[in-house]
Amino acid sequence: MPPLTLNRLVVLSITSFVILIVLLGTFVPEARNVVPSIGSAKEKACIGGACWTAGSNSYVSRLSDFRQSISKLYDSIKHSITSKDYVDAYGDEFTLQHGVIWEKPLGSKVLIIDMDTRSPDGKNEVFGADKLNWETATGEGSGGMLSASFMNHFLYAQIHGYEYKFVKSQPLEDLHNTWIKPIVLEQFLADYQFVVFIDADATIHHLEIPLEWLFSRWGIGHNTSAAMPIDTRQRLNGDENASCDSKGRITLNTGFVVMQNLPTTFEMLKAWKECPTDERYKDCSYWKKHWSHEQRAFSEYIRYDFNATGEEIIIPCDDAMGYPTLKKDHPHILSDCRGQFVRHHTVDKSMTKSSADMAMLQNLAQIMQSAFKEHEDGSGIKEKHCGMLKGLWGGDC
């Protein structure tokens, strides 16, 4: 990690104090217009009746300045892409079981995308007309949840130089709204090496860890088309296999999706989005509106058609599903998945904000700790007997 100079310490302290204000000022103006888009984004695109245009040049300039400031702020704690392990604040160690796969930053080759038919533009929400009061904002309701998660995802993208977009789609006809996932993913993948979708009730827990390190940990290589986490097992109406497909295998969860720009990936996405037509997969239309919609369709059909064993596209449940108290607080949850890297609040959705809070505050605490330790000798004074206070007491020195 690069050392902190005194000038950087001053900038660090100021930036820590105003990070939320700056984040809002950069994030809101263009995101409210559906997609804050830069770089290689298409000038215009339409999905399910919703259309958007690329962001303005002035937005690109403001975002570039903001990204540089955030990147410098995180320099002292940003985790190395090639590090063999990671130790969190609790002392828990996580290793790269597959070794280092990605040795260089992917930067703008990665798109982090939020997509929803809802938009957090109400009172005290991130796209709202008034200044956001973070202290009184809650994770209650869709707007509060989306505000917290979108800001978490946007900040993460800026830290590591990834691109970010929010796609607000119109509600789909004759399909549950979550079926926009394969449609949107296919639309944008052609312009990037990776597109990563993160659900509105999910947050990145360790903002300092780059996706490249996580890809290596999960075994996502240069020929991996898709990756998703294994779902949490749950008991519904007495059925302990409610989270399993018709073959008895636990489903994959589409709340965190990694897609790589490969020919097979586009074939997969086409098959996935067309699944409800029943032309290729008989009875897939059942999942048009029945839970768990596009998620179950992927696990029921797509993963077998494009990957015979399914092992290549599985992210561990403990890494990208759940949160520490999920199993303890909800007896019907059978898996103790704690969301070590991606916190997915499938049950307690209002906790999305508290997870976003903790991710940011933990990082700021680490940054300030690094700064204080770096300058301890220059700013710390350790008083000893017979020092500057020796006149306050008698006795020989």
The count of other CB atoms within 10 Å of the CB of residue 223 is 9
Whether pLDDT at 285 is above 90? yes
Query: Which pLDDT score is estimated for 49?
Result: 45
What pLDDT band is residue 272 in, cutting at 50, 70 and 90? very high
What pLDDT band is residue 201 in, cutting at 50, 70 and 90? very high
Least confident of 137-141, 299-303, 365-369: 137-141
Whether pLDDT at 60 is above 90? no
Q: What is the mean pLDDT of the chain?
A: 84
Query: Measuring CA to CA, which residue among 302, 316, 308 is closest to residue 230?
Result: 316
Please say whether the dihedral angle defined by the alpha carbons of residues 232, 237, 238 and 241, taken in this order, is positive or negative. Answer: negative
Q: Give the separation between CA 305 and CA 233, rounded to whole angstroms.
A: 23
The model's pLDDT over 155-177, given as tens digits with 9 standing for 90+, comes to 999 999 999 999 998 888 899 99
Whether pLDDT at 312 is above 90? no
Share of residues in the chain with pLDDT > 70 (%):
78
Q: Give the separation between CA 249 and CA 10, rounded to whole angstroms.
A: 54
For residues 271 and 306, is the Cβ–Cβ distance under 8 A? yes
What pLDDT band is residue 14 in, cutting at 50, 70 and 90? very low
Q: Give the separation between CA 85 and CA 9, rounded to whole angstroms.
A: 28
Query: Which pLDDT score is estimated for 372?
Result: 87
Mean pLDDT of 349-358: 92
DSSP class of residue 178?
G
The model's pLDDT over 230-242, given as tens digits with 9 standing for 90+, comes to 999 989 888 888 8
Query: Which pLDDT score is estimated for 376?
Result: 72
Whether pLDDT at 6 is above 50? no
Q: Helix or strand or coil: residue 16?
A: helix
Mean pLDDT of 41-64: 49
The count of other CB atoms within 10 Å of the CB of residue 375 is 15
Expressed in angstroms, the distance from the first to the final Cα of the chain is 43
For residues 295 and 228, is the Cβ–Cβ distance under 8 A? no
Q: Is the peptide bond before 292 cis (omega within 30 degrees of 0)?
A: yes
Task: Quote the tokens at residue 347.
Answer: 């049950």
Least confident of 65-74, 210-219, 359-368, 385-394: 385-394
What pLDDT band is residue 293 in, cutting at 50, 70 and 90? very high
Query: Which pLDDT score is estimated for 388?
Result: 63
Phi, psi of 50 (to 5 degrees): -95, 130
Whether pLDDT at 182 is above 70? yes
The model carries a pTM of: 0.83
Query: Which pLDDT score is estimated for 162?
Result: 97
The domains found in the chain, sorted by start residue, are 6-377 (3.90.550.10)
For residues 6 and 375, is the Cβ–Cβ distance under 8 A? yes
Q: Helix or strand or coil: residue 48?
A: coil
Whether pLDDT at 62 is above 60? yes
Mean pLDDT of 329-339: 93
The model's pLDDT over 93-150, given as tens digits with 9 standing for 90+, comes to 999 998 999 999 999 999 999 999 888 888 988 888 989 898 888 877 778 899 999 9
CB-count burial class (<10 Å; 0-12, 13-18, 19+) for 392? exposed
Long-range CB contacts (< 8 A, 24+ apart) of 125-133?
A: 126/24, 126/27, 126/28, 126/31, 126/150, 126/151, 127/28, 127/31, 127/32, 131/24, 132/24
For residues 319 and 341, is the Cβ–Cβ distance under 8 A? yes
Whether pLDDT at 56 is above 80? no
